[in-house]
Amino acid sequence: MKSGPCAHAVAALALSPVLAVAACGVSAPIGTPVAVAPNPDDEYTLSSGDRIRVIVFGEETLTGEYVITSGGNLTFPLVGNLPATKRTVEQLQTALAAALADGYINNPRVSIQVVSFRPFYILGEVSRPGEYPVSTGLTLQQAVASAGGYTYRANTRRVFLKRANETQERLFDLRDATPVVIRAGDTIRIGERRF
């Protein structure tokens, strides 16, 4: 047998087909699970209605819960309005620490956690349409389940989804194996199937 990465990959094939395929640089056979890189769009960004807990270490009077305003700001003592919309928790944490360090506190250490997310909305052919709380990694199927599941008239193959930061809804085919992650502020619409 020839030596090289593929020779070692053949030996590793019995242990892990994915490792063997990766070592040889060939495409994976059908049915082989392949890791999918996380979608950067799935990273949660703050917006109005989110409730956060801010901890400024050593500054008990500044520590507490705050709600992102309808204008998309964190209104914080000493610094005033700090833009929060479309920032991740880590980005807001860094911005708040920088604002506090600008003449207010020496070497501020800031920690921010989301206490409650703004809701998502589900309409159409589900048992209980309405607004529901978002949790990290919530999938479309889980969102439908939280609304009591599909009605008997529901089209369970296609769903319309409008992201919070978009103006038009998009059509998703539920027969696709890729899970659809629901974010806070999203609107899901389940249509009727054609009989």
Residue 41 lies in a domain: no
Residue 92 lies in a domain: yes
Say if residue 58 is in the same domain as residue 81.
Answer: yes
Residue 25 lies in a domain: yes
Share of the chain above pLDDT 70, in %: 78
> Domain holding 129: CATH number?
3.10.560.10
pLDDT tens-place string over residues 124-167: 999 999 999 888 789 999 999 999 999 999 999 999 999 987 88
- Specify the long-range contacts of residues 99-106, CB closer than 8 Å, at least 24 apart: 100/56, 104/78, 104/79, 105/56, 105/59
**pTM (2 d.p.):** 0.62
Number of domains present in the structure of the chain: 3
Choose from 4-8, 24-28, 64-68 the range with maximum mean pLDDT: 64-68
Say if residue 19 is in the same domain as residue 59.
Answer: no
| pLDDT, average across residues 53-67 | 95
Better-scored residue on pLDDT, 53 or 36 = 53
Say if residue 153 is in the same domain as residue 182.
Answer: yes
Say if residue 80 is in the same domain as residue 68.
Answer: yes
Domain stops at, among 61, 85, 116: 116
Residue 17 lies in a domain: yes
Task: Find out whether 86 and 147 touch, Cβ atoms under 8 Å.
Answer: no
Task: Find out whether 74 and 82 touch, Cβ atoms under 8 Å.
Answer: yes
Length reported for the chain: 195
Say if residue 108 is in the same domain as residue 125.
Answer: no
Full residue range of the structural domain in which residue 21 is found:
1-35
Task: Find out whether 144 and 157 touch, Cβ atoms under 8 Å.
Answer: no
> Domain holding 111: CATH number?
3.30.1950.10
DSSP line for 115-158:
EEPPPEEEEESBSS-EEE---TT-BHHHHHHHTT-B-TTB-SSE
